[in-house]
Every structure is written in C-alpha cells, then in structure tokens.
Structure 1
C-alpha cells in the first residue's frame, strides 16, 4: 500500500477512489459534493423529526439512503455512521439512532472543514 493510499484512509474522503470512479473530473466531483450537502440538509431535518417521533422505519430508510450516497462519494466514515443509523432504525434502538445522528453531523462538519482546505484535485 502506498503512502498516498494510507493517507486517503485518514481523510474523510478518498479522493483517489472517487475520482477514479468519475473519470478524474474534479469539477463534477465538486458538483456531486454540493448536491450531497444539499440532500444531507434535508435528510438531517427529516431524521430529527423521525427520531423525535420514534419512526424507526423512516430512520432506517434515511440511514440506508445516506449510506449509499456516502459510499458513492468514497466517504467511508460517513458510510459506516449511516449504516449504524440504518441498523438503529431496523433494531428500533432510539438511543443508538440519536447517537448516530449526532456523530453523523460531527463527521459532516469534519468533511466540510477538510474540503475547505483541501479542494478536490489537490491530491491528484
């Protein structure tokens, strides 16, 4: 494993992996990330409402959706957190859902901060 691959595992996004999947188009990646953050904002609101109502089906569905979107963009930490959220919904565990939602928001903020200083293409 190369040093750059090791570093990618520490970053909130694996630029090499996602850029490989989209043909190296950093402009397209920027567009995809904008869409991801917009969709996350809506899903966050829906998730907060679902947790407040203890609507476990909705929690599971939102977790599943976020898991897929995160995987598509090589956001492996967010993908794992979303899986936790999906599992919490499936297993009807409100405390786990609340914790996963908080962790998800923290990781989203980490990703945003990382991207501000490290725009797509910097590590290519």
Structure 2
C-alpha cells in the first residue's frame, strides 16, 4: 500500500493503546522491540546474502508483526513487502528493502533514546 505521506517512525497512539497509557510498560516494550529487531535484522541480512527466500520470508513476517505491535508502521510496511516478495521466491528487491528497514530501525532507536519515560 503506497502512502502519500511518510509513516511516523512510531505511532505513539497505537503504543499508548497497547500499554493502556503505562509509560513504564511502553519503555519496556520498546526496549524488547529494539533488542529483538536488532537480532532479526542481522539474521535477515544473512538470509538475504545466502539467497534463502524461505528464511527471509519467516524473518520478514516476524519483523512485520513485531513492528506493527509497537506502532513502527513504516518498518512493518517494508517488512510486509519483503515477506510478500520472498513468498514468491523473488529476492531481487530484498537488499534495498533490508537497507530501508535498517535505516528506519536506526532512526527508531535514536528516537527511543531521546524519549523520557515517567512512571
């Protein structure tokens, strides 16, 4: 799905709805998301380098869901596109999508680092 405006790095309203407004829980969710996503993006790069479409699909599916859960909609959207392409055994767009996801994730990490959490 193409968007006329770029998606926010984090949809804070979605995250607040998930956490029921609990800022400490939001911080914990985001920290777990960062750790998990960092690991999965590394594995994704390896799977792309090995031309393993099935593993790329599985990792992209995981990243799509995990990102959507915390409101990282741009990252989720890119992962969804990659998942669809990998399901069709088309890894041609994978390096560009993986790079886009990595850049988006780096921006998310920086944004999270700037947040101040209040209990």
- TM-score of the aligned structures, taking structure 2 as reference length: 0.85
Is residue 2:109 matched to residue 1:102?
Answer: no
Q: Unmatched 5+ residue regions in structure 2?
A: 1-5
Which residue matches 2:48? 51
Larger deviation, residues 9-18 vs 40-49? 9-18
Aligned partner (choices 79, 82, 100) of residue 79 of structure 2: 82
Which residue matches 2:29? 32
Equivalent residues of 2:23, 2:117 under 8 A apart: yes
- Count of residue pairs brought into register by the alignment: 113
Larger deviation, residues 110-119 vs 53-62? 110-119
Which residue matches 1:6? none
- TM-score of the aligned structures, taking structure 1 as reference length: 0.82
Larger deviation, residues 74-83 vs 85-94? 85-94
Equivalent residues of 2:68, 2:76 under 8 A apart: yes
Equivalent residues of 2:57, 2:86 under 8 A apart: yes
- Deviation per residue, 1:33-84 (Å, 9 max, x gap): 1111111122122111111111100100111000100111111111101101
Aligned partner (choices 10, 18, 21) of residue 18 of structure 2: 21
Equivalent residues of 1:15, 1:120 under 8 A apart: no
Distance 1:58 1:34 in 2: 25
Which residue matches 1:92? 89
